Amino acid sequence: MKLFRITSLLLLITFFSLNQGLAQQTDEEIRSMLEQRDEQIKELMGPEGTEYSEGQRAELKEIINGIIDFEAMAKEALDVTYDTIPSAERTEFVDLFSTIVRDQSLNKLDIYRAKITYRLIETEGDQARVETLAELDNIRTPVNYEMEFKNGEWVIVDMEIDDVSTASSYHRQFQRIINQKGFDALLESLRKRAARE
């Protein structure tokens, strides 16, 4: 009986140590991926005051948004309405939403020059939370990410800037329009907005 208890304890310690090791390895993978993305953006941006060609802007847009799961973010932003609309409208909504968010990511490019400090990377299964501090011109802004492991890679499903969630912010806007005028009015509004971006 004593041998069984000792064996069980050793197995438990081994399992705990293995889980800790895997979590640390995952944390490092996430940090490395985000740091590499940050370096790519800074390198492509060049020195302050650089004028960007259309090709450079397209490349910046792809790097900035390449690890964002727009479908997950759009679903979160639309909330319960997402499951009530037809598949074709769902697809169009996600496309329009991603176009708007992707285009807006280039509105203030200087923010990507900020120095990033990683304050927390916490993983639990296929979920992760990353908390960072972006410092630019002596102004510090908390920038946090909610991430999920999907199809063999970590993707961003929501972002918080200055404690304001992107998905929640859009959710408030979208629900106000849906409650007042219905989903079709929201879709039409997004079509016009995407065409302007």
The three-point CA angle 108-175-173 to 5° equals 20
128 pLDDT exceeds 50? yes
Q: Please give the Cα distance from 61 to 86 (Å, whole number).
A: 29
Query: Is the whole-model pTM more than 0.85?
Result: no
Which residues, 6+ apart, have CB-to-CB distance to 168 below 8 Å? 77, 158
* Confidence category of residue 14, pLDDT binned at 50, 70, 90: very low
pLDDT at 142: 93
Kindly write down the DSSP assignment for every residue of 63-125, as one continuous string: HHHTTB-HHHHHHHHHGGGGGGS-HHHHHHHHHHHHHHHHHHTTTTGGGGGSEEEEEEEEEET
Rounded mean pLDDT, 5-34: 57
| Better-scored residue on pLDDT, 2 or 74 | 74
pLDDT at 15: 41
50 pLDDT exceeds 80? no
pLDDT at 25: 64
pLDDT digits (tens, 9 = 90+) for 144-158: 999 999 988 999 999
pLDDT at 197: 64
CA quadruple 123, 128, 131, 132: dihedral sign: positive
Rounded mean pLDDT, 43-56: 82
In Å, what is the CA distance from 5 to each residue of 8, 32, 110, 115, 179?
5, 40, 59, 51, 61
Give which of 102, 94, 87 is closest to 71, Cα–Cα: 94
pLDDT at 44: 87
Domains parsed from the chain with CATH numbers: 2-196 (3.10.450.710)
Which residues, 6+ apart, have CB-to-CB distance to 102 below 8 Å? 61, 64, 65, 70
Which residues, 6+ apart, have CB-to-CB distance to 89 below 8 Å? 183, 187
